[in-house]
């Protein structure tokens, strides 16, 4: 993980208008908006930088947005740490702390009720299948000698198909992609809310053994590193 971009990213963590803050803002804005967050870029910046809530939002949206900022920091702090059941549950618990999902007892635990991805006919894992399928996925990923965007795309599809949590699987899955790309010094692709239909359709048209649709989607996204190259090269 000793690469120039990552070193600059970590060094600028405590500075406003820095590479770290720009990546954090860009990632959180897009990932949260895909899930229905009503925060604009300006309102998100006020919340993250000054703890000011501007505009009309549900309490869950405010809390989840605040939580997602802490989860982003956790992802950076744990770069190089293996993805495990406890790691996944900790991210999920942190993301939904003090939300409705938390009050219902679904935060930080795997799903107990079958769920689905709206707008798709993807057959998701049943609750009793979650742990063994995750074991298989994590063992496969840890065995890869050279992680590529293609293998990350496969991981993302398989994770989303398991859909291990009652809610929040898309956000957790995208946090994992961020972690994997940073750890392996790869182009940094951020799923954008303004083409979320293409993102969802690429997941829906992929299947076990053929991950080309989701890989093509991720591979065609702009590289954050290239867009902000002047700030770290």
**pLDDT one-digit tens code per residue, 85-120:** 999 999 999 999 999 999 999 999 999 999 987 767
Q: Is 200 annotated as a binding residue?
A: no
Report the alpha-carbon distance of residue 188 to residue 5 in Å, rounded.
10
- Domain membership of residue 203 as a residue range: 4-231
**Contact indicator for 172, 88 with CB cutoff of 8 Å:** yes
Q: Is 8 annotated as a binding residue?
A: no
Report the alpha-carbon distance of residue 34 to residue 99 in Å, rounded.
18
> Exposure of 97 by Cβ count < 10 A (0-12 exposed, 13-18 middle, 19+ buried)?
middle
| Structural domain count, the chain | 1
What is this structure's pTM? Answer: 0.96
* CATH number for the domain that contains residue 19: 1.10.3290.10
Q: Is the pLDDT of residue 2 over 60?
A: no
Q: Is 36 annotated as a binding residue?
A: no
Active site residues: 163
- Start-to-end CA span in the chain (Å): 16
**Contact indicator for 150, 211 with CB cutoff of 8 Å:** yes
**pLDDT one-digit tens code per residue, 133-159:** 999 999 999 999 999 999 999 999 999
Q: Is 229 annotated as a binding residue?
A: no
- Give the Å distances, CA to CA, from 59 to 62, 109, 212: 5, 22, 38
**pLDDT one-digit tens code per residue, 35-61:** 999 999 999 999 998 999 999 999 999
């Amino acid at each position: 993980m000793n690469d120039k971009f990552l070193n600059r990213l970590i060094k600028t963590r405590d500075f406003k208008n820095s590479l770290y803050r720009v990546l954090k803002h860009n990632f959180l804005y897009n990932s949260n908006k895909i899930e229905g967050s009503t925060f604009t870029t300006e309102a998100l910046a006020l919340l993250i930088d000054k703890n000011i809530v501007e505009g009309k939002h549900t309490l869950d949206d405010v809390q989840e947005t605040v939580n997602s900022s802490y989860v982003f920091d956790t992802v950076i702090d744990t770069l190089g740490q293996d993805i495990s059941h406890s790691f996944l549950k900790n991210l999920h618990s942190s993301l939904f702390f003090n939300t409705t999902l938390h009050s219902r007892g679904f935060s930080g635990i795997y799903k107990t009720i079958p769920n689905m991805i709206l707008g798709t006919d993807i057959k998701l894992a049943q609750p009793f299948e979650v742990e063994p399928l995750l074991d298989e996925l994590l063992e496969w990923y840890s065995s890869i000698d050279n992680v590529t965007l293609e293998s990350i795309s496969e991981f993302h599809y398989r994770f989303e198909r398991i859909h291990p949590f009652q809610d929040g699987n898309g956000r957790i899955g995208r946090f994992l992609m961020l972690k994997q790309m940073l750890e392996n010094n790869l182009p940094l692709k951020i799923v954008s809310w303004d083409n979320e239909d293409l993102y969802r359709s690429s997941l829906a048209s992929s299947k076990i053994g053929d991950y080309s649709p989701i890989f093509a989607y991720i591979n065609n996204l702009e590289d954050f590193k290239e867009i902000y190259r002047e700030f770290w090269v």
